[in-house]
Structure 1
Amino acid sequence: MPHLSVPGAELYYEAEGPASAPAVLLIHAGIASLRMWDCLVPTLVEDHYVVRFDTRGFGQTRTEDVTFSDRTDALDVLDHLGVQRACVVGSSRGGRIGLDLALEAPDRITGVVTVGSTPSGLPDVELTDAEDAAFDSIDDAYAQQDWPRVVELETRLWAIAPTRDAATLDPDFVSTAYALNRPNAGHRPEAPIAAPADPTAYEAINDLQVPLLATVGEFDLSPELAAQAFLVSALSRAEGYIFSDTAHLPSVEHPDEFNAVLRGWLTKHGL
């Protein structure tokens, strides 16, 4: 299995498709690993070089408890594969990393797609009572170091959402959502420290020079809905899309629609 040695970590990565084609870097959500993109890759590799990796604390990546830059990790993977420029598609925290990366290394990024992502530095958004209670339950499980319980509650909050009943959803999606996050339980005791972007994406958003597509699921949490609206309104050239009947993982819950939206946007911008 391919691992890239970087300071304090062994990053697991995968790359598929013609190396001469436009590159797309996929960065996963905090309740998943690079496996969340499995439904997307077979179509995308037809005309793109698709790169994805497990960030520190997730999937098959191994890390020491060190301070690091998640932007540098992403660039290290691209450098290792000889990719000079790529469009970043990031889900949740993956989209935050993508925005920070596009601002920090504008010569390396051709476009950014965010999926339920809050840009770094975004002011706090008030949670609903149900969201607040769910986060309290996760905090309690963390305090007890009950890691399987933590990932179960995380998945229920983000993938299912407080406003939905899992019993009414596609059982295959529900099963997949839990399966994507379950292996991360073993990483929860790890404590690598991600160095924050300076300036934050919220502060520097007007400096973003590449095309941006900000998406979100209609049942995502309050901060993520507010963040998508902010990104679309902050830049006149930004485009937005709201996926119906889904929460934090639209690419997993509705892969065909996600593929159509993403590929249409990539084609429109020649990416």
Structure 2
Amino acid sequence: MPMLKVRGEDFHIRIDGDERAPVLLLSNSLGTNLSMWDPQIPEWSKHFRVVRYDSRGHGLSPAPDKPYSIAMLADDALAILDTLGIDKAHWCGLSKGGMVGQWLATHHGDRLGRVVLANTAARMGPPELWDGRIDTVRKHGMSVLVQPTLERWFTPEFRDSAKETVAKVSEMLATTPPLGYANCCGAIRDMDQRETIRAVRNPVLVVIGARDPATPPATGYEMADAIPGAQRIELAAAHLSNLEQPEAFGRAVTDFLKG
């Protein structure tokens, strides 16, 4: 099922695992697509029915040029669940996907089971940073952002030793629809969930990259402290910790989701 009609729009999705297993919904970061989860799928699909999708503005999913919000992106996820006839799912989102997960856990916690928020933040400023990035990508496209983004997302030693993985992520970035990326940047710029996440009652695991310059460890600790009962784990990685530490990330998430 590569494309799914959701409220009149075609979303790119993929489903792995036994249809009788608990559902795990995955949400990608800014500038990637559903293939960012490839290293974890063989193990996770043994335990879960894994549903992943290209977020609005990314991959093969719709990328209309209009203002986006985190609430809009969360509504997309709910609509995908509704279209598939899924009442409840565990959640794992990284960076932007974690921001969407926070919104869902705050406003629709009954639709989620356990929630993994990886390399993310409840607020990510300053607004001027996002305005500059939006202006750049609208004028020049994605190519100018690829190298500086890779430098934030991976440690230097990983970039040197895992060139195939880095090349795949570079391709994801380069092929992200520029207008979709820009409008997702606007959604992140306008987000502030620092107080609202205090209402979350789902079991939550916050995954932190010890060397993450995009969402630094202090940001993850603050978010974990704000969510009642949240667990946290720190991995030796920069921003895309599921790719830099695939085994440790996958094991931590599996253990948490299985309780």
TM-score (norm 2): 0.85
Q: How far apart, in 2, do the equivalents of 1:123 and 1:36 lie?
A: 22
2:112 aligned with 1:118:
no
- Where does residue 31 of structure 2 map in the other structure? 31
Alignment of structure 1 residues 232-243 onto 2, 5 Å: 232-243=224-235
SS in 2 for 1:57: coil
Range that drifts further, 258-267 or 147-156: 147-156
The change in CA–CA distance for 1:67 and 1:236 in structure 2 (over 3 A counts) is: closer
Distance 2:89 2:132 in 1: 38
Whether 1:173 and 2:173 are equivalent positions in the alignment is no
Q: Please name the residue that 2:220 is paired with.
A: 228
CA distance in 2, matches of 1:137, 1:108: 36
2:99 is the counterpart of 1:104: no
**1:156 equivalent in structure 2:** 151
Do the aligned partners of residues 258 and 33 (structure 1) sit closer, same or farther apart at CA in structure 2, a change above 3 Å counting? same
TM superposition shift of 1:171: 2.4
In the alignment, structure 1 residue 9 sits paired with structure 2 residue 9 = yes
Q: In the aligned structure 1, how far is the partner of 2:64 from the partner of 2:131? A: 28
Gaps (5+ residues) in structure 2?
A: none
| SS of residue paired to 1:59 | coil
**In terms of Rg, which structure is larger?**
1
How far did 1:219 drift?
A: 1.2
How far, CA to CA, are the matches of 2:131 and 2:78 in structure 1?
35
Q: Tell me, what secondary structure is at the counterpart of 1:237?
A: coil
- Check the 8 A contact 1:8/1:66 in 2, yes or no: no
> Could you tell me which residue of structure 2 aligns to residue 257 of structure 1?
248
Alignment length (residue pairs): 252
1:215 is matched with which residue: 190, 207, 215?
207
CA distance in 1, matches of 2:227, 2:105: 14
State the shift of 1:17 in Å.
1.3
Percent of aligned positions with the same letter in both sequences? 26
CA contact (8 A) 1:56 1:192 kept: no
TM-fit CA distance, 1:115: 1.1
On the 8 A contact 1:206/1:234 being kept in 2, the answer is yes
Decide which of 72, 75, 81 is 2:75's aligned counterpart: 72
Counterpart in the other structure of 1:266: 257
